[in-house]
Amino acid sequence: MWHEWSLRAKIVGLTVGVVLPVMATATALAVRLSRNALEDDLRTSGLALARELAASAVAYHGTENDALLQQEIRSMAGRGGPVRDVAVYAVTPAGLAVRAIEGRPERPDADVEVAAREGQEIVAVKRETLSRLWQVTVPVWERKRSVGAVSLTLPLARADALARRIERQAVLLWLTAMCLLVGALSAFMNRALAAPLGRILGVMGRAEAGDLGERAPEDRKDEVGQVARGLNRMLDRVASFQTELARRVAEATAQLRTTNERLYAAQQQVGRTERLAAAGELAAAMAHNVGTPLSGVVGHLQLLEEEVTDAAVKARLRRILGQVNRAVAAARQFLGAARPAPLRVSVDMETLLADLLLLVSPESQRKGITVVQTCADDLPTLAADPSQLQELFLGLITNALDAMGTGGTLRVVAETGRSDKGGPAIRVTVSDTGCGIPPENLAKVFEPFFTTRSASGGTGLGLAIARRIAQEHGGTIRLESEPGRGTRAVVELPAGAE
């Protein structure tokens, strides 16, 4: 509960909790002291009056003077002073006799007996039904002998009423002081703590939400001002850290971009080199295709040469045979180059495609092309040559990027399919929203050296190589295109390709 209170409530509560009992005790003490002083005062004046009356009683000695004495005590009790009852007694052989009395019962009480017989002054507080009173009893001395007693009562009702009035006023004063104290404290706390702390909390809240530009007011010299200055210093440092961080991130990003661009350029160079190597391979295939029929031609030419008798024709046939033999030898030489054994390792298609898309990201970003890659969760792993697959898909992806101007979407989707033989396969579709391929060209795009991009350095080998790689992995490749709307290249590779 205490922990949930605001600082202002705690300080006000604590002050009231401490000041309230202290003030209440002080008030009660002051009231008690005043009452005591009043009572003492009354007692002293009672004693003085009683002694004065005792002296008068001696002076008025003699029965004829008791009327005068009676007159005096009446005026004493009746003049609105502190005295209520008065009685003067004389010691007679028959006991104590009343000489003059006003307002009191005639029978003398024990105090009067003691005072008259033993010469003692007795002052005591007596209780009546609703009030208290001082009873002052003094002896009447005549020639050093106690001859009677004077007894006065002085009600304490006035002192009590006065004390009650003081009490009421004190409580009123005390309540007013309390209200003023709480009000003043509350206002002070508001001005000195709550309002400036509220402003500091506002600045902290905005800083938390990301706005580091705002600062807490530093106009105060007290602890709140120190907190504000500390917070501002901290915010300055955080802001400068943030600026520095942003600068470094921008630097690193720029560096990364440059590195990526270089990597992309290098990869393209490698691609070109590989394509030229592949061109060599295709030439070898051609050499094989040309060499085989030429070998047949050589056989026929040799038979013809044996059958012909005309020397001139024979010589000419021999020349032809020589040339054809040269061509066959050249083809054999080409074919002699050993082919490397195909590589088969486990390939994660999702990572392979993601790496390629990262590689071309400088190009796609420069052209403002949206790249979307989707891969099924249950893609089977492929046993393949990863660098060849990279070559295949990089060819398709660069074709798609080349076909799009600024803007557009490049979508690469890998999903699970079925191979021709019914086994699991991976189907990768590379689609673009580019210029598309006119129907008359669609049939030719897989031919080696067919290109519509010779002006921009196209060799026309990308798709021919892509098809060879797909076939070497036991798969297929096909192109679907709508001129003006886009092209889809679909590659299907059996998962168990060995």
Phi, psi (rounded to 5 degrees) for 179? -60, -45
Residue with Cβ nearer Mg ion (434 or 462): 462
CA 77 – CA 84 distance, rounded (Å): 5
Q: Find the binding residues for ligand ATP in span 403-462 (CB under 6 A).
A: 403, 432, 434-437, 445, 450-453, 458-462
Q: Does 463 bind ligand ATP (CB under 6 A)?
A: yes
Min CB(416)–ligand ATP separation in Å: 24
Amino acid making up residue 253: T
Q: Does 399 bind ligand ATP (CB under 6 A)?
A: yes
Q: For the CA atoms of the chain, what is the radius of gyration?
A: 64
Min CB(394)–ligand ATP separation in Å: 10
Q: Which of 428, 471, 462, 450 is closest to 271 using CA atoms?
A: 462
Query: What mask of x and - would describe binding to ligand ATP in positions 272 to 301, judged by CB under 6 A?
Result: ---x--------------------------
Q: Which does 461 bind (CB under 5 to 8 A by kind): Mg ion, ligand ATP, none?
A: ligand ATP
Query: Near Mg ion by CB under 5 A, which window of 213-221, 256-264, 392-400, 471-479?
Result: 392-400
What angle, rounded to 10 degrees, do the helices at 462-472 and 386-403 form?
Answer: 150
Q: Find the binding residues for ligand ATP in span 468-487 (CB under 6 A).
A: 487
Q: Does 401 bind ligand ATP (CB under 6 A)?
A: no
Q: Which does 460 bind (CB under 5 to 8 A by kind): ligand ATP, Mg ion, none?
A: ligand ATP
* Residues in the chain, total: 498
Q: Find the binding residues for ligand ATP in span 375-394 (CB under 6 A).
A: none
Q: Does 451 bind Mg ion (CB under 5 A)?
A: no
Residue with Cβ nearer ligand ATP (104 or 275): 275
100, β-bridge pairs: 88
Min CB(400)–Mg ion separation in Å: 9
Q: Which of 276, 252, 256 is closest to 264 using CA atoms?
A: 256
Q: Which of 192, 467, 493, 207 is closest to 353 using CA atoms?
A: 493
Q: Find the binding residues for ligand ATP in span 7-36 (CB under 6 A).
A: none
Q: Which does 451 bind (CB under 5 to 8 A by kind): Mg ion, ligand ATP, none?
A: ligand ATP
Min CB(431)–Mg ion separation in Å: 15
Q: Which does 364 bind (CB under 5 to 8 A by kind): ligand ATP, Mg ion, none?
A: none
Q: Kindly report the three-state secondary structure assignment for every residue of the chain.
A: CHHHCCHHHHHHHHHHHHHHHHHHHHHHHHHHHHHHHHHHHHHHHHHHHHHHHHHHHHHCCCHHHHHHHHHHHHHHHHCCCCCCEEEEEEEECCEEEEEEEECCCCCCCHHHHHHHHHCCCEEEEEECCCCEEEEEEEEEEECCEEEEEEEEEEECHHHHHHHHHHHHHHHHHHHHHHHHHHHHHHHHHHHHHHHHHHHHHHHHHHHHCCCCCCCCCCCCCCHHHHHHHHHHHHHHHHHHHHHHHHHHHHHHHHHHHHHHHHHHHHHHHHHHHHHHHHHHHHHHHHHHHHHHHHHHHHHHHHHHHHHCCCHHHHHHHHHHHHHHHHHHHHHHHHHHCCCCCCCCEEECHHHHHHHHHHHCHHHHHHCCCEEEEEECCCCCCEEECHHHHHHHHHHHHHHHHHHCCCCCEEEEEEEEEECCCCCEEEEEEEEECCCCCCHHHHCCCCCCCCCCCHHHCCCCCHHHHHHHHHHHCCCEEEEEEECCCEEEEEEEEECCCC
Q: Could you tell me how many residues of this chain bind ligand ATP (CB under 6 A)?
A: 23
Q: Which does 414 bind (CB under 5 to 8 A by kind): ligand ATP, Mg ion, none?
A: none
Min CB(400)–ligand ATP separation in Å: 5
Residue with Cβ nearer ligand ATP (65 or 409): 409
Instruction: Return the residue nearest ligand ATP (CB atom).
Output: 462
Query: What mask of x and - would describe binding to ligand ATP in positions 313 to 352, judged by CB under 6 A?
Result: ----------------------------------------
Residue with Cβ nearer Mg ion (399 or 433): 399
Residue with Cβ nearer Mg ion (295 or 452): 452
Q: Which does 492 bind (CB under 5 to 8 A by kind): Mg ion, ligand ATP, none?
A: none
Min CB(359)–ligand ATP separation in Å: 15
Query: Near ligand ATP by CB under 6 A, which window of 70-78, 84-92, 315-323, 395-403?
Result: 395-403
Q: Could you tell me how many residues of this chain bind Mg ion (CB under 5 A)?
A: 2
Q: Does 159 bind ligand ATP (CB under 6 A)?
A: no
Q: Which does 450 bind (CB under 5 to 8 A by kind): Mg ion, ligand ATP, none?
A: ligand ATP
Min CB(462)–Mg ion separation in Å: 3
Residue in 139, 362, 462, 474 binding Mg ion, rule: CB under 5 A: 462
User: Could you list the residues that contact Mg ion (CB under 5 A)?
Assistant: 399, 462
User: Could you list the residues that contact ligand ATP (CB under 6 A)?
Assistant: 275, 395, 399-400, 403, 432, 434-437, 445, 450-453, 458-464, 487
